[in-house]
Amino acid sequence: MGRLDAIDLSQSLSTKDYERLLSERSYRLAQLRLALGGKLGESGLGPGLLILFEGWDAAGKGGAIKRLVAPLDARHVRVVQYAAPTPDEKRHFYLQRFTGQLPGHGGMAVFDRTWYGRVLVERVEGYASTEQWQRAYAEIVDFERSLHLEGTIVVKFWLHLSPDEQLRRFKARQKDPLKKWKLTDEDWRNRDRWDEYAAAVEEMIERADTPWAPWHIIPANDKKFARIAVMDTVIGEIERICATRNFPLPQPAGTRL
């Protein structure tokens, strides 16, 4: 039994609780973001914050990112979406295309898809050789450790949902003219290889789960629950890391989920 199998996908939130918690978490995130950016208090710039999102197709990454950054000033956060590497990017070491968007001290960046594509889609679809994706675990772990040692808070998410829920969302997208564009032939092909991807995800989590950049698996069958869980995790990681580094933060308001 892997870590994905142990996730309770039945967790959910009522609309009333979701709206209340969303308001509370949004206020706290705005506080923390201003503090890290040196805009609140007199402590100067705090650690950089890098948030990485991976997950199944239709797991709700976009919606979770939207709610996460909504309470923040757009000048204080960078959201970057990564697709397949371009022909020019393929000429370089695969980590290179990510480095220009990394946050500096006091900065914040959110990556929608990440360097873990090397051990997920590139592995399963054969775009990387076995030798390339196998050595990538050590390369990625060392890279994230370097970011941590330079002061960056690294928060990694895998949004997990069931095959049945994914199918339901695929069919809903097919019927919605404003969302149909999100569903591609590649999504259906990836679904046909669910077991291969699940095995790759399990190995990714096992081999790249570290004290400096742990994986957070989010139950995403209920979108409302997943969005609050993401916000709670980001808040918790900022508070945890800043406490270890003696960087002062404003006192929180409200209660946690």
- Of 103, 31, 42, the closest CA to residue 73 belongs to 31
pLDDT at 1: 66
Strand stretches in 34-77, DSSP E: 49-55
Q: Label residue 43 by pLDDT band (50, 70, 90).
A: confident
pLDDT of 207 > 60? The answer is: yes
Mean pLDDT taken over the chain: 95
Cα separation, 90 vs 62, whole angstroms:
26
pLDDT of 252 > 90? The answer is: no
Cα separation, 54 vs 57, whole angstroms:
9
Token pair for residue 168? 């339901």
Cα separation, 74 vs 38, whole angstroms:
16
Could you tell me the pTM of the whole model?
Answer: 0.95
Cα separation, 48 vs 52, whole angstroms:
13
Task: Give the residue-averaged pLDDT of 141-147.
Answer: 98
Helix 163-175, helix 185-192: angle, nearest 10: 160
pLDDT of 257 > 50? The answer is: no
Q: Which residues contact 122 (CB under 8 A, 6 or more apart)?
A: 128, 132, 133
- Of 29, 2, 11, the closest CA to residue 233 belongs to 29
> Which option is the CATH number for 15-82+101-244: 3.30.460.10, 2.60.120.200, 3.50.40.10, 3.40.50.300?
3.40.50.300
- Write down the domain spans for the chain: 15-82+101-244
pLDDT of 210 > 80? The answer is: yes
| DSSP-assigned beta bridge partners for residue 79 | 110
pLDDT at 255: 45
Q: What is the largest CA-CA distance in the chain?
A: 54
